Structure 1
Amino acid sequence: MKKILLALLIGFAISGKAQLNYINYHKELNQAKLLIAQSKFEEALEIHQQVFKEYPKHFYKDVHNACVCAIRCNKMNKAFELANELVLLGYQLEDFEQSAFDALRNSDQWNFFCKAYPKLRKDYESTVSLNLREKYYQLFLDDQLVASRDEGYGDLKNDSSFFVLTKRLKEFYESDGIPNYLHNKDTLNIKYFILYRHYFGMKNNADNKPDIKNKTDLYEKIDALDWKKVFLNELQQGNIDPQFYSNAVIYNDYSNPYGKTAVKIDFEKEKVMLFMNLKSDEIAVKNENREAIGLLLVNESNSDILGNTWYAKYPFRLIKDSLVTVTSPNPMAKLKVIRKFESKIRDSYQNSDLSDFFMGDYNQIKETHFFGLDL
């Protein structure tokens, strides 16, 4: 009876672990990023620790953020514990030369870390299959050869070649699964991503253009690979992250189910905010889609994330004072003044204290919308 009970308990434990959904992992760490943006490093570290305890798979950017939070909180034992994990996720000693780790290197414990490093590095290397890397790298080279023809999606010869490569990629997936190096700092990650980007670029292009899709059964075979379904499962299992998923599946999808992030520049409140230039009901749908895969919602409440960008230094007062002197009725005259001051701030923007963290590519947002300003 005791053996049966023990077996049931083990079964429940295994079942519980199998049901972990890593979309929730990313949702929780999105909240940690918002706390980091507010310089609430201790609270952010607590969230990281809770999430890492619950979920066994970690992405190196998340561990990096947690490590820097620990440094900012002067919790050096925890920082070195996380630094050890970073080595197991591909970091080398040179990666710790970043300013984010200055306090770590100046610590009395740094020499002990350096002595432990060779074994940690060896443990990391033991998890990396060189044969697997070579296989995917060669597939990437073949992919680039097709891409170099520059014939574009929709060309039957081009799409047929991409299909052959994607079919081979599916065979690799069925034998290897998603390579574990996607959790690590690894130069192969972007190359691996490009393989899927070309698949979805080809598939979505055909979906947008029935005249292309209906001319041959090639696109039925492309659809049958069903990478989107595979990706969603791998996202839930913690083998890819939401950015990898969304950036791949939306390529050439004109409907963009996750919306285009813009910045609302409110001159009345003198605030910059996350924004989507859509009707409120459409924004709600886009944000539902974002939440479903673990992306940060685009709304005013989450605008603190812009604290790591030049937008946080937006020159409201300088622009307002200068616009008073513009006499031309042409709106372009005022816009020229605005762009001049924006350019100065953007070009002179120095890395902030938050630049030590992986916060997303919000600094690259180019679409802006002005409110409370008469143009």
Structure 2
Amino acid sequence: MNATLRLTGFGKSVTPAAPPVTTPPIPMHLNPLRFCISILALLLVCLQQHVFAQDAPDYTKVYHPVINQAELHIVTSDYKEALQAYEQAFASVPSPFARDYYNAAVSALALRDRKQTFNYLEKLVQKGVSLDYLQRQTVFDSLQTTRHWRKFARKYKKRRRKYEENFNREYRADLDELYARDQYFRQAEGGLRVYRDTIRQIENANTLQLLNWIEERGYPNENIIGLADTLEQLPRFYITVQRQTATRKGYDFTEVLLKAVQQGNIAPQPVAYLLDQQAGRNRYGSSVYMRVDCTGCKDTDELATKDYLVKKITPKEQERINARRQKLGLEPLEEYKRKVLHNVTDPRFKLGYNWSVSTYVVPSKEAAEILLERLSAIE
């Protein structure tokens, strides 16, 4: 018997419908069609992931080793081979690095290939390098009196405007704020001595914030946050990584940085430096030469005249360093040394880094002699 409900105010009787008869679902293992569809969907997902992994190149294997060859050709003044290597590297990845565009532009200029030179200069502008910075590079002095440069300069504002529309200005500003927080109490009167606990809390908070942003907003690479007008070697926010040292049991950024360098989000040279900073040791050989500045030595003292020195290491230790460098896509130490020295004699190219040469300041001849026991002159 069906119950009758009266809806007040409507004057109608409503007989509820009988509940629908439901058929128990057939278990998937007893329903061949649904089972096959599910398996097919799973296979498609796996295939998509596999294709994506194949489409995303590993920069440590397809890009940086080729860039290394290009730079070695620069060292031997074989600019034609260097340019060919750069073109090969650029074609292998979706987003080459600005520093490599710069060296490719200088290589093309050395070959008097103006068309290719300006092609790479245009790409530098698209990355965020300013016209003012390029004008201050003496290597381009010969171009700045040409009509090609005037045309390049006229188009700069339009291209700069396009760059500013595309890069994430807010993300860049947030990252700069990490540096500002790091420095605030350090620069205050008393600095670390007075505000040690507060500074440590800020460092930990900055680390957590950076990791969260990387997860939520993507790794802050050249394409996302742009360049600060110049070919910056290491944006300021990386001070957050440098603070997390092994001696203080800080957060280990190794996995984050290794993944970033493989995906082309950061070049391997800065990664080697950051990992060495975290470890407190030259495990990746980022600092390849040393100089001794003896403030208490006389001008006639032999110690005061020593130039570039190298740390004495065993062949086994060098082998281990080279193995670590290879994982980042870096060249062996001996090739790195050649590039750094070439950069001193031929500053047209960008082959060295601020951290390539470490300077040790010592107060006396005695202190210098102790330090020099671990160092040797360049052969």
Between Structure 1 and Structure 2, how many residues are aligned?
Answer: 296
Tell me which protein shows more helix as a share of its residues: 1
Match of 1:317 in 2: none
| Residues 35-74 of structure 1 aligned to structure 2 (within 5 Å) | 35-74=73-112
Identity of aligned residues (%): 25
Post-superposition offset of 1:36: 1.1
- Give per-residue Cα distances to partners, 1:228-271, cap 9 Å, x unaligned: 2111101100001112212222225244322352379xxxxxxx
The aligned amino acid for 1:369 is S
Q: Does 1:205 align with 2:247?
A: yes
Preserved contact between residue 65 and residue 358 of structure 1 (Cα < 8 Å): yes
Change (3 A) 1:84 1:276: same
Higher gyration radius (CA) = 2
| Aligned mate of 1:111, from 150, 154, 160 | 150
1:179-214 deviations in whole A, cap 9, x for unaligned?
23378431685311212111x23xx1234xxxxxxx
Q: Which residue of 1 aligns with 2:317?
A: 282
1:237 to 251, 263, 266: 263
Quote the Cα distance in structure 2 between the aligned partners of 1:107 and 1:293: 41
Distance 1:52 1:66 in 2: 10
2:343 corresponds, among 308, 316, 320, to 308
- The letter of the residue matching 1:171 is N
TM-score, normalization: structure 1? 0.69
The letter of the residue matching 1:359 is L
Residue pair 2:128, 2:163 contacting (<8 A) in 1 also: yes
Q: Distance in 1 between matches of 2:220 and 2:376?
A: 41
Which residue number in structure 2 is paired with residue 218 of structure 1?
A: none
Q: Sort the Cα spacing of 1:284 and 1:273 in 2 relative to 1 into closer, same or farther, 3 A.
A: farther
Counterpart CA distance in 1 for 2:174 and 2:85 is 38
Residue 139 of structure 1, CA deviation: 2.2
Q: Which residue of 1 aligns with 2:347?
A: 355
Mapping of 1:191-202 within 5 angstroms?
191-198=236-243, 200-201=244-245
C-alpha separation between the residues in 1 aligned to 2:116 and 2:358?
Answer: 34
- Give the Cα–Cα distance (whole angstroms) in 2 for the partners of residues 143 and 205 of structure 1: 19
Q: Which has the higher contact order (CA 8 A, sep 6+)?
A: 1
Q: Is the 8 A contact 1:140 1:191 kept in 2?
A: yes
Gaps of 5+ in 1: 1-7, 208-221, 265-271, 310-351
State which of 266, 288, 297 in structure 2 corresponds to 1:261: 288
Native 8 Å contact 1:34 1:305 kept in 2? no
Query: What is the alpha-carbon distance in structure 2 between the residues aligned to residue 83 and residue 75 of structure 1?
Result: 12
Aligned residues of 1:261 and 1:298 also touching (Cα < 8 A): yes
For 1:304 and 1:157, locate their aligned partners in 2 and report how far apart those are by CA, in whole Å. Answer: 42
Q: Residue 99 of structure 1 corresponds to which residue in structure 2?
A: 138
TM-score scaled by length of structure 2: 0.68
Shifted more, 93-102 versus 248-257: the winner is 248-257
With over 3 angstroms needed to count, the CA separation of the structure-2 counterparts of 1:126 and 1:180, relative to structure 1, is: farther
**Structure 1 partner of 2:118:** 80
> Structure 2 CA distance, aligned partners of 1:300 and 1:108?
39
Distance 1:104 1:13 in 2: 44
Find the counterpart in structure 1 of residue 329 from structure 2. Answer: 294
1:369 to 348, 355, 376: 376
* Contact preservation (8 Å) 1:261, 1:275: yes
**Bigger Cα displacement from structure 2, 155-164 vs 227-236:** 155-164
Distance 1:9 1:77 in 2: 42
RMSD after superposition: 3.4
CA shift, 1:33, in A, is: 1.5
Distance 2:259 2:182 in 1: 25
**Contact 2:75/2:338 (<8 A) preserved:** no
The aligned runs of 1:102-141 (5 Å cut-off) are 102-141=141-180
1:67-112 deviations in whole A, cap 9, x for unaligned?
0110110111111111110110112222232221123323342233
- Pair 1:301–1:26, CA change in 2 (3 A): closer
Distance 1:255 1:105, change over 3 A: closer
Residue 274 of structure 1 deviates from its aligned partner by 8.9
Separation in 1, partners of 2:99, 2:322: 24
1:25 CA displacement = 1.8
